[in-house]
Structure 1
Amino acid sequence: MTTLADAVLPLIRTRSDVDRWSAANAHGQQMHDAVDILEAAIPTTPPSEIYSVTHKSLASAIKVIARADDSSGIIGDACRRLLELHPKAAAVAAAPVSTLIDWMMKFQFGDEEVDYFELDPVAYAPALGDVGVEAYRKRLSEVEARLGPRPSEEDRWTSGHSHEWFTLDWNARRLAVLDHDIESIIRTHAKDRKVAAWVQDTAEAFDEIGEIDLAIDWAKQATDFDRGLQSLKAADYWCGLLEEHRPTEALQARLSVFRKWPSSTSAARLHKAAGNAWPVYRDEVVATLAASPNDAVMFALLTLKQPEFAWNLAHSLALDSDHTWSELVKGYEKVDPIAVLPIYQRLVENELVEAGAHHYQLAARRLAKMRKLAAGSEHAVEVDELIAELRETHRRRPRLQQEFDRAGLP
């Protein structure tokens, strides 16, 4: 009879050459299959067996990723799935607390090759129990005592114990959340409040423990921090909190975010929040986005779903982005297939400024599209003449000729 370990562990472990990207990707998918089997077995398998196989799988997965080219992140995602399952399995199996703490300390502070995964003491709290959590805190304090004076924030990353300090700080943040300690959450997450992301981290911690008013307040502080990308990210989080917990305030929040960071994205979110009230804001949004033709056209095309309006904007605002034009013609060709032919021609000619298979393939596909759109019209001959002219102009590019042939071009 095949045991769970027999079904799972061979899919995690490997002697293959996973430092090659393709091999790592293939094995990573196999690891996900193993985790699928493990998760599916939970309802019908003794908890002790689930925990044992999860624990062994995690140990093996860490060894695999240590020597893998995981630039695609597939193996890392499998490891994270195991890391999410491990504390749950430990709690249900009533894993020995002292042994579990020893493992947690070794995983985080041992001489492992892989040090870029964190363990969450909040997730492990049910398995540790109150006594175990206190014992774990004591072990962390012992590590800190051995490190000597704490370096400044600026010097921490160049200190000889940067990983240990990072891990201790991570645990301090998570234990503050576990304790629902508001002052400790602010101290460990916001630090000196000099970084917008830290302020948002504080908001997220308050959200996690159900302190919604505090979460909204700190998310707003992060939004107002400056005009940088971190504040923009915080703004979306702030609006999301309002939409969930104070929906009557969400529309004005989305409007303020659009006014601070006007873009097709912030306009789309304002459009969604406005609902039936959208006409009130339409003129302001369209006028504001006119300063950025790309945003104006993409908003009209993708959010308003008005290709004619987007087409007119593209011309009146002198749109000069080939990428945006290529998206626009896909939508407008259904309205007027002949009108998009000059745009397609320009895109083809611009594509062929650069040599390379990708450019040739894209140009060939666009020319094939032009033939399809022009079929049966007086422009069909013009398109074929264009293709002949391009073949002659680029006669010394054999790969281009090959791609044209593959696309069925004359």
Structure 2
Amino acid sequence: MHRWSASNEHGSQMQEAVTVLEQAAGTEDPAEVFTVTQKAIASALQVIMRADDSSGIIGDACRSLLDLHPKAAAAAMPPVGKLVDWMVAFQFDNECDFFTLDPVVYLPALGEKGMTAYRAKLAGITERLVPRPAADERWSSADSHHWFTLDWNAQRLAVLDRDVEAIIRTHVRDRKVARWFVDTAEALAEIGEFALAIDWARQAVDFGPGHQSLTAGEYWCTLLAEHRPGELLAARLDLFRRWPSSSTAAHLYRDAGDAWPDYRGEVTNRLASSPRDAVLFALLSLQDVPYAWELAHTLLLEDDGTWGELVKVYEKVDPLAVLPVLNRLVMRELVETGAQHYKIAARRLKKMRTLAAGSEHEAEVDWFIAELRETNRRRPRLQQEFDRAGLS
């Protein structure tokens, strides 16, 4: 199944089979459902190792089977020793290492006795692998996958044990990556330690100016909205001041509510240095089309994509006012060659002709189209796209 289309077709069939299994889990013999699920996982892993799964359809089917497996195990209650052996073999002896198992969700099937046996298996693997490679050699080590899997299990078992110190130690590691602070916060939230989770999410924000810290800010605000709503607005303002953009401004605007006038001046001033963000905020969040149009001109907006979005809505306000903008966008599109550029230019020219119809600009637009045809007479594909758009 190296052909993409064949892989997609097979993946769709796998998804249908998974759906049948999920439905059977509630009505059929639990032992049979568990056995079939486990066999289906083995088969699915063989398939994904040899298929072009660019679309991710087969991978999604595999994940669905792996989600079903612990539930089927809890219903069937297979021998604990066999289940532990399967979990260890899946993670450490499998040719396909694309997926992980979460020991937390296997607790109902394993029980305390089974979980103790599982921990013992992991400890035995760790002993055989020592010494642990240095951090900068982790991924070049011959046992890199084993160490990754052991570390993942250590994280999940810390959550299972509700051990705050172990969660922090295993998740934040050497504190060199902002995302690891978020991982720590998410694990703490999972066990209900929301005050600590909020603190660690805030530490991720303070980590640095990178994108991971900005993303951490969204998680920080999510936690505040759920558990400390009185602190949310201050957090939104903090994030906007650190990363002024149309997105952070939009979140501040939404959460400010009636207090928005207190922040409008600061937001407007900060966004003025980024015309694209200023216009998008006015257009998408404030939904003030005339104001967005005014900003685009006064701030000398250069981003063609934003101009294109603005034209779509402002043509309903003043159809003729957008003609110069469309003219400029067409000319800039034709700086490049290629069918896609020609199609976009033709579509915009057709829009210009529609908007100008019956106005004093109608002849001017027709002349512009004719002039472009003549100037670009050596571009046959452009002429073809203009013909298709009816630009005669």
TM-score, normalisation: structure 2: 0.96
Kindly indicate whether residue 192 of structure 2 is the aligned counterpart of residue 210 of structure 1: yes
Q: Which residue of 2 aligns with 1:87?
A: 70
Residue type at the aligned position of 2:219:
Y
- Residues 309-356 of structure 1, C-alpha deviation per residue, up to 9 Å, x if partnerless? 111111111111111111111121111111111111111111111111
Distance 1:32 1:302 in 2: 37
Alignment of 1:37-76 (within 5 A): 37-76=20-59
Distance 2:145 2:282 in 1: 48
Match of 2:4 among 21, 25, 37: 21
Question: SS where residue 43 of structure 1 aligns?
Answer: coil
Kindly indicate whether residue 327 of structure 2 is the aligned counterpart of residue 345 of structure 1: yes
Distance 2:124 2:192 in 1: 32
Distance 1:383 1:23 in 2: 49
Alignment of 1:319-338 (within 5 A): 319-338=301-320
Are the counterparts in 2 of residues 301 and 331 from structure 1 also a CA contact under 8 Å? no
Residue type at the aligned position of 1:108:
Q
Q: Which residue of 2 aligns with 1:228?
A: 210
Residue type at the aligned position of 2:119:
R
Kindly indicate whether residue 138 of structure 2 is the aligned counterpart of residue 156 of structure 1: yes
Question: SS where residue 135 of structure 2 aligns?
Answer: coil
- Number of residue-to-residue matches in the alignment: 392
Question: SS where residue 369 of structure 2 aligns?
Answer: helix
CA spacing shift, 1:269–1:56, aligned 2, 3 Å? same
The 10-residue stretch of structure 1 (159-168 or 379-388) with the greater mean CA deviation from structure 2? 379-388
Per-residue deviation at 1:47?
Answer: 2.2
Per-residue deviation at 1:375?
Answer: 2.1
Residue type at the aligned position of 1:52:
T
Question: SS where residue 134 of structure 1 aligns?
Answer: helix
Q: Which residue of 1 aligns with 2:147?
A: 165
Distance 2:290 2:233 in 1: 28
Structure 1 unaligned blocks of 5 or more = 1-16
Question: SS where residue 316 of structure 2 aligns?
Answer: coil
Are the counterparts in 2 of residues 301 and 328 from structure 1 also a CA contact under 8 Å? yes
CA spacing shift, 1:163–1:309, aligned 2, 3 Å? same
| Percent of aligned positions that are identical | 65
Q: Which residue of 1 aligns with 2:279?
A: 297
CA spacing shift, 1:263–1:137, aligned 2, 3 Å? same
Q: Which residue of 2 aligns with 1:109?
A: 92
Residue type at the aligned position of 1:350:
R
Distance 2:388 2:166 in 1: 65
Match of 1:354 among 333, 336, 347: 336
CA spacing shift, 1:376–1:54, aligned 2, 3 Å? farther
The 10-residue stretch of structure 1 (161-170 or 99-108) with the greater mean CA deviation from structure 2? 99-108
Distance 2:365 2:37 in 1: 62
Match of 1:309 among 272, 276, 291: 291
Distance 2:27 2:388 in 1: 54
Distance 1:29 1:267 in 2: 41
- Residues 375-397 of structure 1, C-alpha deviation per residue, up to 9 Å, x if partnerless? 22222222222222222222222
Distance 2:109 2:301 in 1: 59
- Residues 264-298 of structure 1, C-alpha deviation per residue, up to 9 Å, x if partnerless? 11011111111121111111111111111111011
Kindly indicate whether residue 119 of structure 2 is the aligned counterpart of residue 137 of structure 1: yes
Distance 1:36 1:299 in 2: 43
TM-score, normalisation: structure 1: 0.92
Distance 2:226 2:280 in 1: 28
Alignment of 1:351-390 (within 5 A): 351-390=333-372
Distance 1:225 1:393 in 2: 55
Per-residue deviation at 1:111?
Answer: 4.2
Residue type at the aligned position of 2:26:
P
Kindly indicate whether residue 105 of structure 2 is the aligned counterpart of residue 128 of structure 1: no
Question: SS where residue 216 of structure 2 aligns?
Answer: helix
Q: Alpha carbon RMSD of aligned pairs, Å? A: 1.4
Q: Which residue of 1 aligns with 2:14?
A: 31
Are the counterparts in 2 of residues 173 and 189 from structure 1 also a CA contact under 8 Å? yes
Q: Which residue of 2 aligns with 1:402?
A: 384
Distance 2:343 2:18 in 1: 39
Residue type at the aligned position of 2:64:
R
Q: Which residue of 2 aligns with 1:247?
A: 229
Distance 1:238 1:365 in 2: 44
Distance 1:27 1:363 in 2: 40
Are the counterparts in 2 of residues 25 and 75 from structure 1 also a CA contact under 8 Å? yes
Residue type at the aligned position of 1:21:
W
Are the counterparts in 2 of residues 222 and 231 from structure 1 also a CA contact under 8 Å? yes
Residue type at the aligned position of 2:15:
H
Match of 1:183 among 165, 173, 178: 165
The 10-residue stretch of structure 1 (253-262 or 144-153) with the greater mean CA deviation from structure 2? 144-153
Distance 1:32 1:335 in 2: 48
- Residues 222-261 of structure 1, C-alpha deviation per residue, up to 9 Å, x if partnerless? 1111111111111110011000111111111111110111
Structure 2 unaligned blocks of 5 or more = none
Q: Which residue of 2 aligns with 1:263?
A: 245
CA spacing shift, 1:41–1:391, aligned 2, 3 Å? farther
Distance 1:296 1:350 in 2: 22
Residue type at the aligned position of 2:286:
L
Per-residue deviation at 1:142?
Answer: 0.9
